[in-house]
Amino acid sequence: MLILVAGPYRSGTGDDPALIAANMRAMNEAALALFRLGHLGVTGEMVALPLIETAGSTAIGDAPFDEIFHPSAHRLLACCGAVLRIGGASAGADDMVETARSLGLRVFTDLADVPSPAA
């Protein structure tokens, strides 16, 4: 199953690159754990960040960033079977969960609750 990992990216970081990198690391670790369970874990950032760079973004929150960042995750949700919500407070991650539920997708808040592909 393709599972979107939704967690904080900028929330609580003050846009500090080291704190953003730590948030990305947490989401990538969750995606790796999903992979090892037999799923394919993805993040919206995996899709959005290369596009944002290609679009000429020069700063977090500039026009190309805002054009692409959250909309990419929303489009990605249409391809997913579930969402794994990780981490702390994040309006963006909470929005992904809300959108997933509106699409009828499963939402997990604990990796231990994600079933094996055979289940």
User: What are the domain boundaries of the chain?
Assistant: 2-110
Across 7-119, the runs of DSSP E, i.e. the strands, are: 40-42, 82-85, 106-108
pLDDT at 22 (0 to 100): 97
pLDDT in tens, 46-66: 999 999 999 999 999 999 999
pLDDT at 118 (0 to 100): 77
CATH, range 2-110: 3.40.50
Distances (CA, A) of 118 to 17, 56, 80, 93: 39, 43, 17, 28
Q: Residue 61 carries which DSSP code?
A: T
* pTM, entire model: 0.94
pLDDT at 93 (0 to 100): 97
pLDDT at 119 (0 to 100): 62
Positions of the chain with pLDDT under 70: 119
Find out whether 38 and 119 touch, Cβ atoms under 8 Å. Answer: no
Q: Which residue has 């900028």 as its token pair?
A: 10
